[in-house]
Amino acid sequence: MPDTGHTFEAYLKRATTPLLVLQMLSEQPMYPYQIMQEVNKRSGGVYKMPLLYTVMDRLQQQGFVYESKKEISESNRVRNYYALTEAGGIHLQKLKEQYSQFTSIINEILFPSDK
Q: What is the end-to-end Cα distance of the chain in Å, rounded?
A: 38
For residue 50, the model assigns a pLDDT of 83
Are 83 and 65 spatial neighbours (Cβ–Cβ below 8 Å)?
A: yes
- The whole-number average pLDDT for the span 8-25 is 94
pTM: 0.89
> Tens of pLDDT along 43-55?
999 999 988 999 9
- Nearest Cα neighbor of 90 from 62, 55, 53 is 62
Gyration radius (Cα) of the chain, Å: 17
Please report, as a single letter, which amino acid is at residue 109: I
> Tens of pLDDT along 1-14?
566 668 998 899 99
DSSP H/E element including 35: helix 32-42
> Tens of pLDDT along 53-106?
999 999 999 999 999 999 998 888 889 999 999 999 999 999 999 999 999 999
